[in-house]
A and B are shown apart, each in its own frame.
Chain A
Amino acid sequence: MMTDGAAGRRRLPSYRMEMREESAVMLGNMKLQTQRRLILFAFVTVPLLLLMTFAYYPAMELVRLSFTDWNGISANQTYIGWANYKEVFSNPDIFGVFRNNVAYFVVGIVQNIVALYFAVILNGKLKGRNLFRLLLFLPYILNGVAVAYLFGYVYDTTNGSLNYVLGQLGFGKLAETSWLGTSSIVNYTLASVGFWRFMGFNMVIYLAALQSIPNDLYEAASIDGANGWHKFIYITLPNIYKIIELNLFLTVTGALEVFDLPFVLTKGGPAGASETFVMKIIETAFQFNNYGLASAMSVVLLIFVIVVLSIQRYLLNRKES
C-alpha cells in the first residue's frame, strides 16, 4: 500500500520548504505555521481518538479481561490466571466448535477455483462479458439477512424449491433431504450459501489482477507456439500469485469469522451442529454473562487471524524481495 507513495514523498520536501519561506507572510488571517499546526491538530485528533477507542483499547482490554472472571456487570473482576484459556482449549463444547467452521473453509477453496475459472473466461474475448460479470457479482451486494431467508426457502424440506426441482428430475430419495435439519450436512448447506454470495467477489478481484497482466506476454508466448493451457500455467498463474494468496487468506479469515448466516438461518441448530465460534462468543458474553471467558475466546480468534495474516504478509514480502 505504501509503494505508490514514493512519488508523493519526493515532492514533499519542496512543499515544506516553500511553506517555511513564506511562513513569515500573512496568509488569510493567520501565519502559515500557525495554520499548519491548527490543521494538523484538528484533522488528526478526532480520527486518532476514534481509532484508539474502537480498535486498540478494545484489543488490549480483551486481553486484560481474558484473565478475569468478570460477569459484565459486577464491580468485581477477580484475576484468575490462565483458567479461561484452559477452558477454551480443553472444553470440546468451545474449541470443538471450530469443526463446524471447517466446512466453510473447504467450500471456500472450491469457491476460489470456480472464481478463478470464471475470471479467466471473462478476461478473454467473449460476447456479453459485462453482463455475465454483472450477474455473477450481484449476490455480493444483496442484504445478508434477506439472502439467508432466501435460501431458507430454497432449502426448505417440504416447500423448498431445491427439493421440488430434484423431485421433478427423478431424484425421489434425495428430494426428501432436510438440508438444514441434518447435522452431518447442515454446515455444507450453509457454506454453499456463502459460495453463492461471495464467489462473484473473489472473481472480480481475480479479474482485476488478470487485466493488469500485459498483453504482449501472451502474444510473445503465442509466437513461441504456446497453447491456452500453457499460457495459463506459465504466464497467468505466476502473475496473479499474490492475488490468489490474498483470496485464499480472505477465505481462511472469513471461515474463522462466520456469524450471520448460521445465526439467522439455523440459530446454530440442529442441536448445535451449525454453531460457529463467533456465535459461541456472543452467546457466552451476552446470554451467559461470562465476559472473562468470552474475552479469552475473542483473543484466541484474534490471534488466529493475526497469525494467518502475518503468514500472508511474510509470504508476500519474501516473494517481492
Chain B
Amino acid sequence: MQPTNRGWSLLKYASLLAGVLAVLFPPYIIVVNAFKTSEEFFAKAAISLPDSFLHFDNFVQAFNKANMPTAFGNTIIIIGTTLVLNILIGSAFCYAVGRFQFKLKGVLVGLFLFATIIPQITTQVVNYKTIQALELTNHLMGPVLLYVGADILQIYIYLQFIRNIPYELDESAMIEGASLFRIFRSIIFPLLGPATATIVILKTISIYNDMFVPYLYLPRPEHVVVSTSLMRFFSVNSGDWQMISSAILIIMIPTAILYLFLQKYIFAGVTSGAVK
C-alpha cells in the first residue's frame, strides 16, 4: 500500500494496541493472581502484581487437587491413539482415492465431503447409544472412536496434499518393481509429512480443548481429562480465585507453547480447513 497520512497510521497502531490489550487483559489477571497467597489476594487489588513470582504453592496444590496427573495421562492416551489411527486410516484412504480410478469413486469422495455439513453436535443423541451398544462409555476408547470416526479433517487435508505429489514418483518405483503397498509406505506416506504435521497439531489442539465428548462419555473420576478436571476442580473450589487461576494457567500453557513453536502449521491448517 501507498504511504498514507499520519492520522491513519496512528489509528492503525492505536487500534492494534487496543486489540492486543483486550486479548491479554484476561490472561494477565490470571497470571498475577495465580502467584498470590490468600492473604495477598484479599489485601490487594485484582490487577496488582504479586509479591513474588516464585510462589508456586497454588500450582502444586491445584495440580494435585484437580487430579491433573490422571487428567493429563488420560488426555495423552486419547490424543495419541486418535492420532495414530487418524493418520493411518486417513493417509491410506487418500492414497486409494487419490491414485486409483475405480467405479463409484466420485460418489465415495462426495459422501465424505457431504458429511462435513452434518454438525457433530446434532448427532450425539444417536452416537451416544452407538457407543453404549459397543460398551465403550466409561472407556477411554469411546471418545477415540468418535474423534477418529466422526471427524474427517484429516481426509480433507490429505486429499488436497496428495494431488501435488507427482505421479512420476509412483511410476518409476513401479518400474523398479516396488509393490503398491511399498509405494504407499516408502514414497507417498513420507511425502505427506507436512500434511501429517498439520493434522497432528490441529487434532491435538482440538481434542485437548474439547469438553463436550469427555463430559458426555467419560463421567467417572478415573477417566477425567484436562477439560473435565478443571470443571470438577471449579465446582469444589469456586470463589477460591487464586487457586482456580493457577489451575486455568496449567491447562492453558501446553497449547500456548505448541502454538508459539508451530504457528506456521497452525495458520496453514486453519486456513485450509476452514475453506472446505
Interface string of B99-143 (1 = CB under 8 A from A): 111100000100111010111011111111110000000000000
Known: A51-B111, A118-B19. A43 touches B92 (CB 8 A): yes
Q: Report yes or no: A146 in contact with B93, Cβ–Cβ below 8 A.
A: no
Query: Which residues of A are found within 8 Å of B130, using beta-carbon distances?
Result: 53-54, 57-58
Interface string of A1-26 (1 = CB under 8 A from B): 10011011001111110110010000
Query: Which residues of A are found within 8 Å of B117, using beta-carbon distances?
Result: 305-306, 309
Query: Is A185 in the interface zone, CB < 8 Å from B?
Result: no
Query: Which residues of B are found within 8 Å of A113, using beta-carbon distances?
Result: none
B46 touches which of A40, A59, A61, A159 (Cβ 8 Å): A159
Which among B22-30, B49-57, B76-84, B192-200 touches the partner chain? B22-30
Q: Report yes or no: A153 in contact with B241, Cβ–Cβ below 8 A.
A: yes
Known: A47-B89, A260-B212. A196 touches B8 (CB 8 A): no
Query: Which residues of A are found within 8 Å of B127, using beta-carbon distances?
Result: 54, 58
Bound together, the chains give a CA A259 to CA B216 distance in angstroms of 13
> In whole Å, how far is A231's beta carbon from the nearest beta carbon of chain B?
8
Query: Is A262 in the interface zone, CB < 8 Å from B?
Result: no
Query: Is A110 in the interface zone, CB < 8 Å from B?
Result: no
Q: Report yes or no: A43 in contact with B93, Cβ–Cβ below 8 A.
A: yes
Q: Report yes or no: A72 in contact with B129, Cβ–Cβ below 8 A.
A: yes
Closest to B113 in A: A1
Q: Is the interface of A mostly helix, strand, loop or mixed?
A: helix
Q: Which of B29, B46, B121, B252 has the most CB of A within 10 A?
A: B121
Q: Report yes or no: A161 in contact with B46, Cβ–Cβ below 8 A.
A: yes
Q: Report yes or no: B182 in contact with A47, Cβ–Cβ below 8 A.
A: no
Q: Which of A144-166 contact B (CB under 8 A)?
A: 144-146, 149-151, 153-154, 156, 159-161, 164-165
Q: Report yes or no: A132 in contact with B20, Cβ–Cβ below 8 A.
A: yes
Query: Is B179 in the interface zone, CB < 8 Å from A?
Result: yes
Query: Is B72 in the interface zone, CB < 8 Å from A?
Result: no
Q: Report yes or no: A146 in contact with B251, Cβ–Cβ below 8 A.
A: yes
Which among A29-37, A84-92, A95-103, A170-178 touches the partner chain? A29-37
Bound together, the chains give a CA A8 to CA B117 distance in angstroms of 26
Bound together, the chains give a CA A40 to CA B99 distance in angstroms of 10
Q: Report yes or no: A145 in contact with B255, Cβ–Cβ below 8 A.
A: no
Closest to B45 in A: A164
Q: Report yes or no: B23 in contact with A59, Cβ–Cβ below 8 A.
A: no
> In whole Å, how far is B107's beta carbon from the nearest beta carbon of chain A?
11
Query: Which residues of B are found within 8 Å of A36, using beta-carbon distances?
Result: 100, 180
Q: Report yes or no: A56 in contact with B115, Cβ–Cβ below 8 A.
A: yes
> In whole Å, how far is A67's beta carbon from the nearest beta carbon of chain B?
14
B181 touches which of A39, A53, A132, A222 (Cβ 8 Å): A39
Known: A27-B174, A40-B100, A259-B212. A153 touches B227 (CB 8 A): no
Known: A141-B258, A302-B122. A150 touches B230 (CB 8 A): no
Q: Report yes or no: A144 in contact with B121, Cβ–Cβ below 8 A.
A: no
B16 touches which of A19, A72, A118, A134 (Cβ 8 Å): A118
Query: Is B245 in the interface zone, CB < 8 Å from A?
Result: yes
Q: Which of A19, A55, A135 has the most CB of B within 10 A?
A: A55
Query: Which residues of B are found within 8 Å of A190, using beta-carbon distances?
Result: none
Q: B interface, how many residues as a size bin?
A: 35 or more
Query: Is A44 in the interface zone, CB < 8 Å from B?
Result: yes
Interface string of A118-134 (1 = CB under 8 A from B): 10010011100000101
Q: Report yes or no: B252 in contact with A146, Cβ–Cβ below 8 A.
A: yes
Bound together, the chains give a CA A153 to CA B263 distance in angstroms of 28
Known: A54-B123, A135-B20, A294-B125. A126 touches B12 (CB 8 A): yes
Query: Which residues of A are found within 8 Å of B4, using beta-carbon distances?
Result: 228
Q: Report yes or no: B163 in contact with A47, Cβ–Cβ below 8 A.
A: no
B93 touches which of A44, A139, A257 (Cβ 8 Å): A44
Query: Is A301 in the interface zone, CB < 8 Å from B?
Result: yes
Query: Is A233 in the interface zone, CB < 8 Å from B?
Result: no
B47 touches which of A18, A58, A164 (Cβ 8 Å): A164
Bound together, the chains give a CA A55 to CA B117 distance in angstroms of 10
Known: A58-B126, A61-B126, A218-B1. A305 touches B119 (CB 8 A): yes
Query: Is B266 in the interface zone, CB < 8 Å from A?
Result: yes
B20 touches which of A43, A136, A142 (Cβ 8 Å): A136
> In whole Å, how far is B247's beta carbon from the nearest beta carbon of chain A?
8
Query: Is A179 in the interface zone, CB < 8 Å from B?
Result: no
> In whole Å, how far is A170's beta carbon from the nearest beta carbon of chain B?
16
Q: Report yes or no: A246 in contact with B275, Cβ–Cβ below 8 A.
A: yes
Query: Which residues of B are found within 8 Å of A22, using beta-carbon distances?
Result: 174
Q: Report yes or no: A12 in contact with B101, Cβ–Cβ below 8 A.
A: yes
Q: Report yes or no: B271 in contact with A208, Cβ–Cβ below 8 A.
A: yes
Q: Report yes or no: A228 in contact with B211, Cβ–Cβ below 8 A.
A: no
Q: Report yes or no: A143 in contact with B208, Cβ–Cβ below 8 A.
A: yes
Known: A47-B89, A144-B209. A121 touches B12 (CB 8 A): yes
A-B contact pairs, 12 of them (CB 8 A): A47-B155, A53-B130, A121-B12, A132-B16, A145-B228, A149-B230, A153-B33, A154-B25, A196-B23, A205-B275, A263-B211, A285-B128
Q: A47-B155, A142-B255, A145-B227 are in contact. List 6 more A-B contacts (CB 8 A).
A: A43-B96, A47-B93, A56-B111, A160-B46, A218-B1, A295-B126
